[in-house]
Structure 1
Amino acid sequence: MNQVVILAGGHGKRMKASLPKPMLEVLDTPMLGWVIRACEKAGLSRICVVTGYKAQYVELYLNNRYRTALQPEQLGTGHAVMQAEKFMQEFTDGNTLVLCGDAPFMDSDTISGALRLHEEQENAVTVITAELDQPRGYGRILRGENGIAAIVEEKDATEAQRQVREVNSGAYWFRTKALLELLGGLSQSNAQGEYYLTDTIGLALERGMKASAYRTENPDVVLGANTRRDLLHLNEVARQRILDRHMDNGVNFVCTDGIIIGNDVEIGADTTILPGTILKGKTKIGAKCTIGPNCLIENCTIGERVTLNYVQAYGSEIEDAVKAGPFVHIRPNTHLKNGVKIGDFVEVKNSTVGEQTAIAHLTYVGDSDVGKKVNFGCGTVTVNYDGMKKQRCVIGDNCFIGCNTNLVAPVKLGKGAYTAAGTTVTKDVPDYALAVERADLKVKEGYSLRKLRDKLFPPEDGGKR
């Protein structure tokens, strides 16, 4: 059985972060999440995450999906892997992949390709490497006739060795039995007093085991983050890669300023994403839409030919040909059906809105079931909360709701019902009826003159009237 050990116990002191370094986000996903996703895509589901600094945050994120092992002291990468020995000993017939939890751009093709080479060559250890134009700061890979000869850290390398462009990614495939044996041979005899996983290469060669290197075509697998500047660079790299992927799939960008798209977002061809738009989570957008400018969409399913302008939407479904904005808030569990039109300063929450219904402006629709071809007048409010619990409104097809109507839930408007402007509806209205709730208009002549006498005719003017 093949399995994975992910090292995620780092503090990242230079980050000055309150979270473990692998929990810092690239786009909207922790770096650890990127690594786990690559493993899952490569078909690897048996995973142990080695935790350390503020381990509870990693445990909370994993939510019991994978095993964990605690590294109570930070004594090097080799020491971190040692903490997973119990996990590895459960299945020793197979291979173990060791990955860094703060290297988010490891990909499934690299993982699978390295495993094939590892098994074909019957290696005890296979190092995943990359070739960089600027290898400064990375350990260099020295190759021999029969594979890898050594990994030399830059500070220990000769000038000739520093010219080598193939570098260590920090990721390795091991034969599990060999890894358990090699871990037992590691020592702290170095300046840092730590157990280095890189030392397993020399130990393997000394013991007559085969060691090799797999050079990936993805140089970004080596990228990690030790500072906030590094983290910003990771975000910039990820952002551009995702934009490139969507452009290859036919998505249009007239300008990419302020556009951030999560790794799991799907977008159909001929859709245009305008500046300032952020797409997060499992959002899926259909073809021929216009999203933006300045939209924030998270975990939504959006149909085709949808136009969203200055819209924030969360956890909702928006069907075909919906138009919304500007300044619209679509809260979770909302379903906007085909052809719905929503204008400025409208909020919809936990509601279903039927086909071709129009909610033009300055309206709140919460906890409601709205039929098709309903017209909401300006200033309408579904009064869904009585101070103790939420109640629902039901609005039938073809209703016309006058301006400044209050629908005090629970209440039902029948099909084709009308409400007069300024009405507060507190009981059900039957089909095709008009609800009017108004007091008689009273006009008190001279009222404002008496009220504003001193302002209109101040004493210093002699009080003339």
Structure 2
Amino acid sequence: MNVSIILAAGEGTRMKSDMPKVLHKVAGKAILSYVVDNCIANAMDKTVVIVGHKKADVMDYFKDAPLTFIEQAMGEGVPYGTGYAVYCAIDEFSDEDKVYILTGDTPLFKEETIARFRAYVESHDFDACVLTAVVSDPFGYGRIIRDQDSTIAGIVEEKDATDKEKAITEVNTGIFAFTGRALKENIGNLSSNNNQSELYLTDVIQMLKDDGKKVGGFTICDEEEMLGVNSRVQLAACEKIMRRRINKYHMENGVTFLDDASTLIDSGVKIGRDTILGPSIHLVGETTIGEGCVIQGASRIVDSTVADGAVIDSSVVEKSVVGSGVTMGPYAHLRPNCVLEENVHIGNFVEVKNSHIGKGTKAGHLAYIGDGDVGENVNISCGVIFCNYNGKEKFRTTIGDNAFIGSNVNLVAPIAIGEGAFIAAGSTVSKNVEDGSLAVERSEQRMIPGWNRRKDS
């Protein structure tokens, strides 16, 4: 059985945050989620997450994931270090298992990298194997010491390294593979006799080597993958790299970016081919964009579905469904739970909330459609307000097909406007209107001759 152990118990003090470090997001996804998804994608039979600092928050965030959580005790008198964290999970694997150790704060490892590492491990008879990288600046990383036969003789941490060892540019990425037997036999024998006074998992490598065991090393070429998050600066660096990867993926699959540097696409977003994204677009969460869409002008779309051929300009869409051929904006706002059917037009400064809009309906400008069920080919003129709230409860407005709602009309819900009905401009309508009827609700106009002269005098 293949068992993965993810180390995610750290306090992350350099983040200066009340949130656990591993729950901070990169491209809209928690740091730890990338590591968990990597294990799942690489068919780990069991994934164990070591939690400590604010463990309840981490466990709640991943409550629906197929994970086993083990607490690493923290506080005075309790050992620290990666070795102790792994020791906490000693009962979660057997001698016959292959155990993979990953760190929960490294979101940039690609699935194919872990797959190649696993394939290398399985094709060699090692008691342990280390994923290594050759880097331009090795400061802060454990240095890899190689034997003449290229197997690994040991790993020396930065603070324990000699000047000669510090010159080595091959470093430990923090990802290991062990046979269950080798790990069980040695993890309990670690010593904290080092400059950090911690139990180093890397010391297990030295123990195995001293015992005549064979330790392999698999080297990756892209040092970006091993970047971890210990501060806001490193978080921003990982964010930049991940955004670049995501945009490149979509471009390679037929999406046009007019300015990829300013276009932010979250990791869970799907985009169809021949869609054009203008500068300053932000597609958030589990959003899906169809084919041949045009999204421009600093639009933000959150957890929504946009069908083929839609055009959205400088608008916000939240948790809604936008049909094919819809045009929106500029400065329109779809609040949650909206459905726009085919060829709807929602123009500038129109807000729609919790409403269903039928095919071909148009609301060109300066309107509020709240809690409405609007039919097909309805005209909603400038200044129309759905008065859906009486101070205590929300009520719905229903409008039939082919109705015409004139300018500056207030529809006081609950109300139903029939098919083909016509509501005259300036009316405040609080009673149902029958099919094909004209509704006019205005006070009588008064004329006062000479009033302006008398006012001025």
TM-score, normalised with respect to structure 2? 0.93
SS at match of 1:200: helix
**Alpha-carbon shift at residue 257 of structure 1 (Å):** 4.5
SS at match of 1:428: coil
The letter for the 1-side match of 2:276 is T
**Alpha-carbon shift at residue 47 of structure 1 (Å):** 2.1
1:123 paired with 2:120, answer: no
**Alpha-carbon shift at residue 13 of structure 1 (Å):** 1.8
For 2:202 and 2:392, locate their aligned partners in 1 and report how far apart those are by CA, in whole Å.
Answer: 62
For 1:264 and 1:361, locate their aligned partners in 2 and report how far apart those are by CA, in whole Å.
Answer: 32
CA contact 1:260–1:278 (8 Å) conserved in 2: yes
The equivalent residue for 2:189 is 185
The equivalent residue for 1:354 is 358
CA contact 1:311–1:324 (8 Å) conserved in 2: yes
The equivalent residue for 2:230 is 226
**Alpha-carbon shift at residue 420 of structure 1 (Å):** 0.7
Q: Deviations over 1:276-318 (max 9, x none)?
A: 1111111111122111220111111111221111111111111
For 1:434 and 1:84, locate their aligned partners in 2 and report how far apart those are by CA, in whole Å.
Answer: 75
The equivalent residue for 1:95 is 98
**Structure 1 residues 45, 364: closer, same or farther in 2, change over 3 A?**
farther
Mapping 1:18-33, distance limit 5 Å: 18-33=18-33
CA contact 1:321–1:338 (8 Å) conserved in 2: yes
1:81 paired with 2:86, answer: yes
For 2:20 and 2:219, locate their aligned partners in 1 and report how far apart those are by CA, in whole Å.
Answer: 29
1:138 counterpart (138, 141, 146): 141
**Structure 1 residues 64, 356: closer, same or farther in 2, change over 3 A?**
closer
1:377 paired with 2:378, answer: no
The letter for the 2-side match of 1:43 is A
1:110 paired with 2:117, answer: no
**Alpha-carbon shift at residue 255 of structure 1 (Å):** 1.9
Q: Deviations over 1:10-42 (max 9, x none)?
A: 222222112122122212112111211222222
The letter for the 1-side match of 2:400 is G
The equivalent residue for 1:265 is 269
For 1:394 and 1:95, locate their aligned partners in 2 and report how far apart those are by CA, in whole Å.
Answer: 62
The letter for the 1-side match of 2:6 is I
SS at match of 1:49: strand
CA contact 1:110–1:218 (8 Å) conserved in 2: no
| Same amino acid, percent of matched pairs | 39
Q: Deviations over 1:237-258 (max 9, x none)?
A: 1111112112211211222343
Mapping 1:231-380, distance limit 5 Å: 231-380=235-384
**Alpha-carbon shift at residue 155 of structure 1 (Å):** 4.2
For 2:453 and 2:180, locate their aligned partners in 1 and report how far apart those are by CA, in whole Å.
Answer: 94
**Structure 1 residues 44, 380: closer, same or farther in 2, change over 3 A?**
farther
Q: Which moved more, 1:176-185 or 1:392-401?
A: 176-185
For 2:394 and 2:221, locate their aligned partners in 1 and report how far apart those are by CA, in whole Å.
Answer: 56
For 2:330 and 2:55, locate their aligned partners in 1 and report how far apart those are by CA, in whole Å.
Answer: 43
The letter for the 1-side match of 2:73 is P
**Structure 1 residues 41, 446: closer, same or farther in 2, change over 3 A?**
farther
The letter for the 2-side match of 1:42 is N
The letter for the 2-side match of 1:238 is M
Q: Which moved more, 1:297-306 or 1:178-187?
A: 178-187
CA contact 1:310–1:326 (8 Å) conserved in 2: yes
CA contact 1:341–1:359 (8 Å) conserved in 2: yes
Q: Deviations over 1:360-391 (max 9, x none)?
A: 11111122111111110111111222223222
**Alpha-carbon shift at residue 449 of structure 1 (Å):** 4.7
**Alpha-carbon shift at residue 169 of structure 1 (Å):** 0.8
CA contact 2:384–2:407 (8 Å) conserved in 1: yes
2:206 counterpart (202, 207, 212): 202
C-alpha RMSD of matched pairs (Å): 2.0
**Alpha-carbon shift at residue 164 of structure 1 (Å):** 3.6
For 2:306 and 2:129, locate their aligned partners in 1 and report how far apart those are by CA, in whole Å.
Answer: 44
1:386 counterpart (376, 387, 390): 390
For 1:370 and 1:383, locate their aligned partners in 2 and report how far apart those are by CA, in whole Å.
Answer: 14
For 1:252 and 1:388, locate their aligned partners in 2 and report how far apart those are by CA, in whole Å.
Answer: 47
The equivalent residue for 1:406 is 410
CA contact 2:257–2:263 (8 Å) conserved in 1: no
**Alpha-carbon shift at residue 54 of structure 1 (Å):** 2.1
